[in-house]
Structure formats: structure tokens, C-alpha cells
Amino acid sequence: MIHMTERLYYDDSYLTAFDAEVTACSEADGKYHVYLDRSAFYPTSGGQPYDTGTLGGAHILDVFVDEKHDVCHVTDAPLSVGSVVHGEIDWPRRFDHMQQHAGDHMIASALWRLLGGVTIGLHISSDVSTIDVAMPEGVTRISPDDIRRVEDDVNDRVQRDVPVRCWFPDPEELKSLPLRKPPTVDEHVRIVAIGEDEMVACGGTHPSTAGQLGLVKIVGVAPARGKMRVSFLAGKRAYDDYRKVYDMSHETAALLSTSVDNLPAHVSAMQEALKQAEYELGRLRRESALNAILSEELPVSPDGVRVAARMLAGDMGLIKDVASQLIKRPGLAVLLGAETEPGRAAFVFARSADVELHMGQLLSKAAKPLGGKGGGRPDFAQGGGPVEMLGAALRILGIEGDAR
């Protein structure tokens, strides 16, 4: 006769210590698979991670349901078959998972009642919990107003501390229950009810009342594999997140000498001022570069083309603007670079309409021997590579020396 582990967490999610008899123990890859006659350790299932803690002095590394549907405890040390061992649950981890799982039920219920969404999966990670939802007409996002409706619905029930009940109904009672969705198993169906409007089959651990969640906060809604993924925090996770955001917002407001209430308007004004300052700086840089180039005596190629070659402090946008302004003048070939990192630069080669040079070909010839890249139209080309590309282009044009 095969003995199946009695799952103590079904009857008491708050049980943190128990004694049990070891019924089997085997070694696997330097770890040990231990079976007990009874256990309070929750195995990974239904999107909820396994419990950790100690068992007979050994540390729990994993808990899972095996192919025979029994609970297997993975430990870092062997335990003697037939011995009675003491188990201790890592309570902060267990209670966190209880809060997240109850938060999942309550969000799923609100999404179903308010928006017609059907939850199809839960995942509780170490930082954020997520549920995937099939929404009517394949919707994968909802509005900020709808997110607030769901949050308000859930937190209203949290504030009212509605009861959470878990039980195994008999088949007749099960048929009469107003479940949010059908059970995924036919036998040994466990029901979780939260308040008067959430009831669904679930084998996870939950607090006895919703008030123990404290707070539930949706932190993201985004498409995921054709469904809508809702990310949320419940309980202490939500409190820790609120404290972090509170501290950061107040520190930022203090740095800007304003209040938290005025922070959005203050930052918006700063962004506008920064945009104007960047525009003015760009204009001054363009004027400075143009004046510097036009004030110097430019070298002339054997073909009689004046060549403006220079490295500028800026970016691709700056050198494109400067080149575009310079080639409005006749008789010019313009070779400009802007250093992007030590020893490497972005380049723009351009020419006036009356110059017959092919700038795309010139840039390509200068780039290839040095491992750079570049090319483009006869009148305008761009690329990137070693800063030496500028000197190489000058030599191709028959001009000795390097650009400034």
C-alpha cells in the first residue's frame, strides 16, 4: 500500500512547525529526495513557489509534486527512513506567498466582474507577481481608469477585512457553488472563497481574512503572448514599494526645492527649460563650427576643390547640420567627424552641388582599410569608425596632413 503525504497546509496555512516520519529518502545529484507521512511544506504548484525552511536539521532546497502526485522534499542532507524529524517553515516567505496568492484571487475576481477578463495563469516571483488574463475581444491593455477601478474594488475588500475560507466540498455541494471558473481537476477539489463574490478552486495557501493583505497595488499592465499581463504587489511588498517611492519622491522634491504635490509641474517646467537650453546650445555650436571653418584658409585638392575637414565636439546631428549649411556655398567638399568614444567617431562627408566628387565612394574607400563603415549618395554620405578615417579621406583627395 502506497502512503501519500498528508498535506497539513490544507487545514492550517499558519502552521509553521510539525513533526513527521520519514517514509523514503534517496540521493539524486548530490541532493536528497525525502518523503514524509505528513508535511506543512507547500510544493510548487498553481503559480505559487515552494516553501523553504529546515527538516531534521537539513535545509529545504525545493519541494515539488512528483509523477505519483506525492510531495517530495529536496534537502541538502540525508534523513533516516523511519525516523521522526522536526520541520520548520520559513514563515516570512510563506506569509508573503499567502498575501500574493490572495491578491491574485481578488484582482482576478475584480477583472472578471468589472471587465469580463478570465485569469489563466499566476506567477509569484521574488519581487513582483503577475497574472495573465484573457480579455474580451483580445484586448491586451486597459485604461488607467480601469486599473484604478480594479484596485479600488480589491482594496475596498481589504479594508473591510472580508473573510477567506478554504474547504473541500462534497460533490453535491461543489455542483451548487457559484465558481468564477470550472475546476481543473475532477476529484479532491479544494475551494477558496474571499468575501461574497470570489469563489474558485485552488490548492494554495491564503490568509484567513483579506485585511491581512494590507494593500494591493497594480504596478503594470502590458501585452504578453497574446494576453494581458497584470503585475501587482500585495502585503509587505506593496508597503515596501510605497515606502521606497515615498522616500524617493520626497528626496527628489527636496533637491528641487519644491513639494511632492508640485513635483510633476516642476519637472515638466525643467524639461521645457532643458529643451530650450539644448536648442540654444546646438545653435551656438553650429554657429561656432561654421565660423571657425569659414574663417580659416581651406586646403585645395589637385582637382581645385576646397576641402573643409574637421573633428567637431558634438554628435551626428551637429555634424549633419553643419555640413548641410556649408554645402550651400559653391566649390566645397566637407569632411566632418564627431568622436563617439575614445578613438572612434561618426562621420559626414558632403559636397556642394557644383562639385563632382562622389562622397559615398570617398567615405567607403577611407573606411574599409581601417575597419570602419560608411557610404551614401554622391552628394551626402555618413558612417563611422576610427578617427583616422578623416586623414585617410584627405590623402585620397591628394591633401597631406590631418584634420583639426
- Hey, what amino acid is at 221? V
Burial class (CB in 10 A: 0-12, 13-18, 19+), 328: exposed
- Second CATH level (architecture) for the domain 6-89: Beta Barrel (2.40)
* Other beta carbons less than 10 A from residue 308's beta carbon: 24
Percent of the chain with pLDDT over 70: 98
Alpha helices of 114-170 — where are they, by DSSP H? Answer: 144-159
The pairing of beta strand 71-75 with beta strand 31-36 = antiparallel
Q: Which fold has domain 281-396?
A: Diaminopimelate Epimerase; Chain A, domain 1 (3.10.310)
Q: What does the domain layout of the chain look like in residue ranges?
A: 6-89, 94-244, 281-396
Average pLDDT over residues 335-359: 94
The yes-or-no verdict on residue 176 having pLDDT over 50 is yes
Q: Give the C-alpha separation, 300 to 332, whole Å.
A: 9
Q: Give the C-alpha separation, 43 to 69, whole Å.
A: 11
The yes-or-no verdict on residue 308 having pLDDT over 90 is yes
Q: Give the C-alpha separation, 50 to 60, whole Å.
A: 10
Q: Give the C-alpha separation, 268 to 154, whole Å.
A: 33
The pairing of beta strand 306-312 with beta strand 227-234 = unpaired
Q: What is the mean pLDDT of the chain?
A: 94
Average pLDDT over residues 277-291: 89
The pLDDT value given to residue 404? 54
pLDDT in tens, 23-73: 999 999 999 999 999 999 999 999 999 999 999 999 999 999 999 999 999
pLDDT in tens, 64-118: 999 999 999 999 999 999 999 999 999 999 999 999 999 999 999 999 999 999 9
pLDDT in tens, 125-157: 999 999 999 999 999 999 999 999 999 999 999
The pLDDT value given to residue 401? 62
The pLDDT value given to residue 1? 39
Q: Which fold has domain 94-244?
A: Threonyl-tRNA Synthetase; Chain A, domain 2 (3.30.980)
The pLDDT value given to residue 302? 92
Average pLDDT over residues 281-309: 90
In contact, 16 and 4? CB cutoff 8 Å? no
Task: Give the pLDDT band (50/70/90) at residue 271.
Answer: very high
Task: Give the pLDDT band (50/70/90) at residue 186.
Answer: confident
The C-alpha cell 526645492 sits at: 257
Cell (9 digits) for 188: 479532491
The pairing of beta strand 71-75 with beta strand 38-39 = unpaired
pLDDT in tens, 199-258: 999 999 999 999 999 999 999 999 999 999 999 999 999 999 999 999 999 999 999 999
DSSP 8-class letter at 111: I
The pLDDT value given to residue 403? 56
Q: Give the C-alpha separation, 121 to 139, whole Å.
A: 16
Q: Give the C-alpha separation, 70 to 50, whole Å.
A: 14
- Taking alpha carbons only, the member of 42, 166, 40 closest to residue 102 is 166
